[in-house]
Amino acid sequence: MEERKLEELAVSLGTPTYVFDTDILKKRIRWVSEKIHPARLCYAIKANPFLLGAMKGEVERYEVCSPGEFHICVHRGVDMEQIVLSGVSKEYEDVRYAMEQGVIHYTAESKRQYELVCRCAKDLGITVDILLRVTSGNQFGMSEADAKELVHIRESCPEVSIRGLQYFTGTQKKNIKKIASEVEYIEDFIRRLEEEEGFITQVLEFGPGLGVPYFTKDDPEEDAQLLEAFIKLFQEERPFEVVFEMGRFLAASCGYYMTRIMDQKKNDAVNVCLVDGGIHHVNYYGQNMAMKTPILSYFPQHPVEDEEDTEWTVYGSLCTVADILLKKLPLKDARVGDYLVFHNIGAYSVTEGIYLFLSRRMPKIYLYSSGDGAELVRDGLETWTLNTVEE
């Protein structure tokens, strides 16, 4: 988004506020889709559920990982046949409700979760598809041994068709050699399943976890370079359908967070700048106590008089020393009432923040497009009612 438009929105919409540019989002999705074709694209809605409406017609699948996320999809009228119901700790009521609503694609994180899907399908007398998630060594997914066992006894539950595997190892990865080794591993397991169990994989859902440039020292072209290197791993035709699951890589670049300077002072030798947001609203993967500077814009609301930059340490409004956003940020003639706009914040920050701490009001959320302008989709919410006892 152009700087002039960013400043106009920050001033007119107020702060703290998230703005998600759906023009940028759709352009990004179409670029990725073209690059990965003929593979399909699955959006992990945990990255930003507010983008569901803008995603319609742009992606082929939606990964849903909790009962709450599924209720959002029902509320927004998402096509149930496009949903892949994933996530740990699913319960009988959750899975049965999803099946009753028309969801036919599932993943299994464990043998117990596979059996749960089987039970629900049998109780409802329907047939569904499932992918077995293979672990990469953390709490997610199942071991090779468990996956092989389920494949071996697959005929015992005819209501559930094991279509293939799901594999995801992490996020914000920038080492293509590591990603290549993960592709090699899961494809080797697919071959061994065929050799040892006679199982033909029809679908591989793979989450590459490609990194995006968040900070000023990052190469702004590194995400494009990563995608180009990644798709070379899939240049050869596979005998199974490939679905790439992405969240951060699709959504990050469309988001902006707008906050305003509320106070300034000098504590010892440090120039302190306080804004009306904080770490409960801004969360970049890889940022630790402001050790890295994210890409941002500064909009003074007065004629700038100082020619030299002054370094500021920017803190938020929470009563904790951990609420530090930026260290040694150079600004020209910064004053109370000026705006800071954080870029590339379209993924996770809107839902990951510690919003209930200090009972502060949650930010407003707008969707923006050049055709429709700024549309308020959630007003600033008071949280104090959630942190008190009802009389």
pLDDT tens digit string along 153-178? 999 999 999 999 999 999 999 999 99
At 6 the pLDDT is: 97
Contact 242, 230 (CB under 8 A): no
pLDDT tens digit string along 282-335? 989 988 888 899 999 999 999 998 779 999 999 999 999 999 999 999 999 999
Q: Alpha carbon of 337 to those of 137, 261, 300: distances in Å? A: 48, 5, 8
At 390 the pLDDT is: 81
- Whether the pLDDT of residue 199 is over 90: the answer is yes
The percent of residues in the chain predicted with pLDDT above 90, rounded, is: 94
Would you place residue 358 in the very low, low, confident or very high pLDDT band (cuts 50, 70, 90)? very high
Q: 3-state DSSP call for residue 308?
A: coil
Q: Alpha helices of 45-175 — where are they, by DSSP H?
A: 52-55, 67-76, 92-101, 111-124, 144-152
The CATH number of 79-246 is 3.20.20.10
pLDDT tens digit string along 207-252? 999 999 999 999 999 999 999 999 999 988 999 999 999 999 999 9
Burial of 161 (0-12, 13-18, 19+ CB in 10 A): middle
Amino acid type, 17: T
Find the farthest-apart pair of alpha carbons in the chain and give their distance in angstroms, rounded: 77
Domain ranges for the chain = 79-246, 253-386
Spatial separation of the C-alpha atoms in residues 99 and 85, rounded to whole Å? 10
At 320 the pLDDT is: 94
At 286 the pLDDT is: 84
Q: Is the peptide bond before 38 cis (omega within 30 degrees of 0)?
A: yes
Q: Classify domain 253-386 at the CATH superfamily level.
A: Lyase, Ornithine Decarboxylase; Chain A, domain 1 (2.40.37.10)
At 340 the pLDDT is: 98
- Whether the pLDDT of residue 371 is over 80: the answer is yes
The percent of residues in the chain predicted with pLDDT above 70, rounded, is: 100
Spatial separation of the C-alpha atoms in residues 317 and 276, rounded to whole Å? 6
Taking all residues of the chain, what is their mean pLDDT, rounded to a whole number? Answer: 96
- Whether the pLDDT of residue 391 is over 90: the answer is no
Q: Which residue has the higher pLDDT, 21 or 291?
A: 21
pTM for the structure as a whole? 0.95
Q: Residue range 188-195: average pLDDT?
A: 97
Where in 236-303 does DSSP place strands (E)?
241-246, 255-267, 270-275, 296-299
- Whether the pLDDT of residue 193 is over 90: the answer is yes
Q: Residue range 341-365: average pLDDT?
A: 94
Residues 6+ away with beta carbon under 8 Å from 27? none
